[in-house]
Amino acid sequence: MKKGLMAALMATAAMAVALPAFADGELHIYNWGDYTNPKLIDKFEKQYNIKVTLDDYDSNETMLSKVRAGNSGYDIVVPSDYTVKIMVDEGLLEKTEPDQMSNFKNVKPEYVGVYWDNGRHYSVPWQFGTTAFAVDTAKYKGDINTYAILFDTPAELKGQINVLDDENSVIHAAERYLGLPRCGADKDALKKVNDLLLKAKADWKTFSYDTITKMTSGDVIVTQTWNGAAYRMRQKMPTVAYAYPKEGIEGWMDNVAVLKGAKNLDNAKLFQNFIMDPENAALISEFAGYNNGIEGSLKFLPAEFATAPEVTPPAGSPTPEFVPPCPPDVVDIYNKIWTNLRK
């Protein structure tokens, strides 16, 4: 009995260290722009008396560059799957052991044994989705479920397309259209990608992450975008449809991770546990329009969310492909292709 009592006391003490029952102080979050529900932050601040500072970035690469430079001042970042893997390998993240937190039981099993953080020792789910493109079907009546929209553009869409200012998403989309593997090192194949992109660029209007504004303002008819952004577009503009290209589709998951040496480590851990609560995860999805990987969150969301075509793909849609980090030699060639394209 003494042994059992001692074990219970030790477990309680360990939990108290990992996740304080009450807290105060600060938390500095660096997240994607237009991606954090103010109601979520307000609830966290009031519940734990913690002042949250939120700054935003527009790409994994922007965030990674700032973190690698050191002394960023942030406690929490929200990297996508392949970027988590890079950051773990480079020793940039704290091993916070989310798998030992009280709300970890709510994480769906398929998002525990993930390639970027197997068993979840560093990160917790924020949101997940796909990257393809959206089309205003009031202005284009053809088949949208093909990357030919971007790379062999129909006449009526020429000069009416926005693509993401995102090296990996654009290059991987071109590889899918050409039937080439992601991260392949074959130079002849990569030349085909380069040539396709240069040809297609003549039919594009802009490179921008501001996809919702681009579409809802009428600036473009097509924009490469993410499924949640397309969901939000459709709320403002019912004729918007999200494509599921027959050639394949990019899958991704963004994750909340804590930077190595974070000044507010305990508060950062508290935030990780906080967002694994189904009601709090629902606040994340309610704002940005993506699913979250937390069991039980849908009951806190509008009924139409779960059945939205952007959230639940139609039958027969391609299975999302999660792409691990490319080898360094391929990244070098990607960088050259991208630099050439963005001239």
What residue type is 163 in one-letter code? V
For residue range 203-215, what is the model confidence (pLDDT) as tens digits? 999 999 999 999 9
Helix (H), strand (E) counts: the chain: 13, 10
Residue 18 pLDDT? 46
How would you write the pLDDT of the chain (343 residues) with one tens digit per residue?
333 433 443 444 444 444 444 678 999 999 999 999 999 999 999 999 999 999 999 999 999 999 999 999 999 999 999 999 999 999 999 999 999 999 999 999 999 999 999 999 999 999 999 999 999 999 999 999 999 999 999 999 999 999 999 999 999 999 999 999 999 999 999 999 999 999 999 999 999 999 999 999 999 999 999 999 999 999 999 999 999 999 999 999 999 999 999 999 999 999 999 999 999 999 999 999 999 999 999 999 999 999 999 999 999 999 999 999 999 999 999 999 999 999 9
CA distances from 30 to 76, 130, 270 (A): 6, 22, 16
Among residues 256, 260, 317, 308, which one has the least CA distance to residue 286? 308
Phi (first) and psi of residue 12, to 5 degrees: -65, -40
Residue 11 pLDDT? 42
Which residues, in sequence order, are CB contacts of 151 under 8 Å at separation 6+? 173, 174, 177, 196, 199, 200
- Same domain for 104 and 38? yes
- Same domain for 145 and 180? yes
Among residues 264, 295, 253, which one has the least CA distance to residue 277? 295
- Same domain for 53 and 168? no
Residue 181 pLDDT? 98
Residue 83 pLDDT? 98
Phi (first) and psi of residue 21, to 5 degrees: -70, -30
The answer to whether 85 touches 60, Cβ cutoff 8 Å, is: no
Residue 22 pLDDT? 60
- Same domain for 14 and 76? yes
Residue 24 pLDDT? 87
- Same domain for 163 and 40? no
CA distances from 86 to 67, 78, 94, 185 (A): 12, 13, 13, 19
For residue 216, give the CATH number of its domain.
Answer: 3.40.190.10
For residue range 168-188, what is the model confidence (pLDDT) as tens digits? 999 999 999 999 999 999 999
- Same domain for 138 and 97? no
Instruction: Quote the CA–CA distance of 187 and 198 in Å, as a whole number.
Output: 16
Bridge partner residues of 32 (DSSP): 57
SS (H, E, C) 131-148: EEEEEECCCCCCCCCCCH
- Same domain for 302 and 244? no
- Same domain for 124 and 135? no
Residue 14 pLDDT? 42
Which tokens hold the place of 199?
Answer: 């040809």
Domain that holds residue 182: 129-251+310-341
Q: What 3-state DSSP class applies to 53?
A: strand
- Same domain for 191 and 241? yes
Among residues 99, 92, 94, 96, which one has the least CA distance to residue 114? 99
Q: What 3-state DSSP class applies to 179?
A: coil
- Same domain for 293 and 320? no
- Same domain for 256 and 215? no
Signed CA dihedral, 175, 177, 180, 181: sign only: positive
Instruction: Quote the CA–CA distance of 123 and 207 in Å, as a whole number.
Output: 30
Burial category of 173 from C-beta neighbours within 10 Å (exposed 0-12, middle 13-18, buried 19 and up): buried
- Same domain for 29 and 140? no
The answer to whether 227 touches 305, Cβ cutoff 8 Å, is: no
CA distances from 308 to 127, 224, 289 (A): 16, 19, 10
The answer to whether 64 touches 88, Cβ cutoff 8 Å, is: no
Number of structural domains (the chain) is 2
